[in-house]
Amino acid sequence: MRLLIVGSLDGQIGAASQIAMSRGAKVSQVNDIEMALSSLRSGKGADMAMIDVNLPISSFVESLANERINLPIIACGVNTDATAAANAIRAGAKEFLPLPPDPELIAAVLEAVAQENTNLVFKDPAMQAAVSLAEQIAPSTASVLINGETGTGKEVMASFLHAKSSRSDKPFVCVNCAAIPENLLESELFGHEKGAFTGAVARRIGKFEEANGGTLLLDEISEMDIQLQAKLLRAIQERVIDRVGGTKPVPVDIRILATSNRDLAEAVREKTFREDLLFRLNVVTLKIPPLRERPADIEALADYFNKKYSDMNGIALKPISEAALNKLKINPWQGNVRELENTMHRAVLLAQGTEIGPEAILMPDGTSIPEASPAQAAPAAAAMPGTGLPAGTPADTVDASIPLVGRTVADVEKDLILNTLEHCLGNRTHAANILGISIRTLRNKLKLYSDDGVAIPTPGSNQRASI
């Protein structure tokens, strides 16, 4: 945890620093906003800034945004009235802390930031297998590719790997490759010299140098332009980078972690991702299963988010009723853990009475979660194709010969694959997971069917079309 304190804080700086350091934070202090920006540009980095409420916070927030520096800001001050605190929040600060510092209050803020990206909550055996593999490979220096659907917790897993590694006392730096425009991502990664391009008002140290000695996470790396991938490959292979506009290479020592919600092998076939870069990145591939494939985690995560948002909003903790829990368990959670978190935040705010009831478990548009979900219907169709009977129907009560006799195994398999793909709205990855086959096997099957003139469900639709 790296804490940057901006301002003198009327002599309270020493006490605040000591409390933060006693809680494990690495503290640096500057007197004003320009010095803070200079420190951040130089590659020292920070995970959070505490700033004097009397400094121009809005200007600081604007400068950070212009230079694409993502940094949570906590405003603080001595004998500050409510208006100043409210203005600080409106200017972009996440919280306000009164001074003199209260040790427990500062500790709570630091822990909230530190734990936001490292708290792994799980109970399901499927997730336990992923965590066990992560613990096994964490001490190594090998690159790791973390694969999983959006919202499954890939960045949390990356933080966990860093925390368990021999580099845990060094920086952990994250770059979201999907959120930064292509023409700016090179500068974000490798830095730039003053005047290298329009808007380069000062030298800026990139994320590679900022992470030196520690870990660099390339989040959603599949979104990186293929031309920039060549420069990334060189940086990983040779452990040197070139700043934009620079004249000499800069050595770096980092461990690379990367995440993707796409099948990078498929991206290689589509020529949008370099195969040699994929080989460099996935020394170990760590796959995080979607939430619907680890049902035991739903209750554990719901309890965790219930407590988190009850504490955050100053609301007495209410137990989740059995009926509410059943509604959570039947939802397919297409948005995975992130969707469940938002649902529980809403439930904490909307719940009335002494417990969180099913009426508080709502979709984002305010509608209720359906009593029966499509996710539950799919296994039924897969288990008993053509019978029309629900999952779990005893085998000895089914006259399976009626729909199946006279049909070949290949025909039954084809119907199963196509029906499952229709259920998944053409999503090949989801269908392969349900069917228990690889995405490559699924695509090969679909190609055979298409070559035979069979219409195939298209992505985003349950309608079939020739491909």
The tokens 């220096």 sit on which residue?
141
d(CA 1, CA 115): 10
Q: What is the CATH number of the domain that holds 137?
A: 3.40.50.300
Q: Where are the beta strands (DSSP E) in 17-171?
A: 26-30, 48-52, 73-78, 95-99, 144-147
d(CA 40, CA 204): 8
What digits encode the pLDDT tens for the residues 85-112? Answer: 888 888 888 888 887 767 777 776 766 6
The per-residue pLDDT for 202 is 80
- Single out the residue in 87, 116, 145 at which a domain terminates: 116
- The answer to whether residue 371 is domain-embedded is no
Q: Which distant-in-sequence residues (6+ apart) come within 8 Å of 428 by Cβ?
A: 421, 439, 442, 443, 446, 459
- The answer to whether residue 307 is domain-embedded is yes
Same domain, 100 and 217: no
Same domain, 283 and 257: yes
Alpha carbon distances (Å) from 323 to 122, 303, 331: 22, 14, 13
Number of domain units in the chain: 4
The rounded mean pLDDT for the chain is 83
Same domain, 298 and 393: no
Residue 14 — pLDDT band, cuts 50, 70, 90?
Answer: low
Q: What is the CATH number of the domain that holds 18?
A: 3.40.50.2300
What digits encode the pLDDT tens for the residues 196-251? Answer: 877 777 888 889 999 999 999 999 999 899 999 999 999 999 999 999 888 889 99
Q: Read out DSSP for 121-141?
A: ---SHHHHHHHHHHHHHTTS-
The per-residue pLDDT for 289 is 95
Q: What is the CATH number of the domain that holds 394?
A: 1.10.10.60
The per-residue pLDDT for 21 is 79
Same domain, 268 and 140: yes
- The answer to whether residue 35 is domain-embedded is yes
- Single out the residue in 271, 287, 303 at which a domain terminates: 287
Same domain, 298 and 312: yes
The per-residue pLDDT for 377 is 39
d(CA 173, CA 47): 9
What digits encode the pLDDT tens for the residues 402-419? Answer: 456 667 888 888 888 988
What digits encode the pLDDT tens for the residues 261-308? Answer: 989 999 999 899 999 999 999 899 999 999 999 999 999 999 999 998
What digits encode the pLDDT tens for the residues 120-164? Answer: 899 999 999 999 999 999 999 999 999 999 899 999 999 999 999
d(CA 467, CA 458): 8
Same domain, 302 and 400: no
Q: Which of 57-66, 114-123, 390-399 has the lowest mean pLDDT?
A: 390-399
Residue 389 — pLDDT band, cuts 50, 70, 90?
Answer: very low
- The answer to whether residue 368 is domain-embedded is no
Q: Among residues 26, 96, 91, 34, which one has the least CA distance to residue 67?
A: 34
Same domain, 235 and 342: no
Tell me the mean pLDDT in the region 459-466: 57
- The answer to whether residue 19 is domain-embedded is yes
The per-residue pLDDT for 209 is 93
Same domain, 174 and 238: yes
Same domain, 270 and 181: yes
- Single out the residue in 225, 253, 287 at which a domain terminates: 287
Q: What is the CATH number of the domain that holds 299?
A: 1.10.8.60
- The answer to whether residue 370 is domain-embedded is no
d(CA 177, CA 185): 7
The per-residue pLDDT for 367 is 81
| 464 has pLDDT over 80 | no
| 466 has pLDDT over 80 | no
Tell me the mean pLDDT in the region 251-258: 95
Same domain, 217 and 349: no
Domain of 31, in residue numbers: 2-116
- The answer to whether residue 122 is domain-embedded is no
- The answer to whether residue 153 is domain-embedded is yes
Residue 116 — pLDDT band, cuts 50, 70, 90?
Answer: low
Same domain, 188 and 233: yes
What digits encode the pLDDT tens for the residues 412-445? Answer: 888 889 888 887 778 787 777 778 787 778 888 8
SS3 content of the chain, % helix, strand, coil (to 5): 45, 15, 40
Tell me the mean pLDDT in the region 354-359: 94
Angle of the 182-190 helix axis to the 226-238 helix axis, nearest 10: 10
Residue 398 — pLDDT band, cuts 50, 70, 90?
Answer: very low
Same domain, 99 and 225: no
* 326, amino acid identity: N
Mean pLDDT is highest, among 173-182, 335-344, 372-381, for 335-344
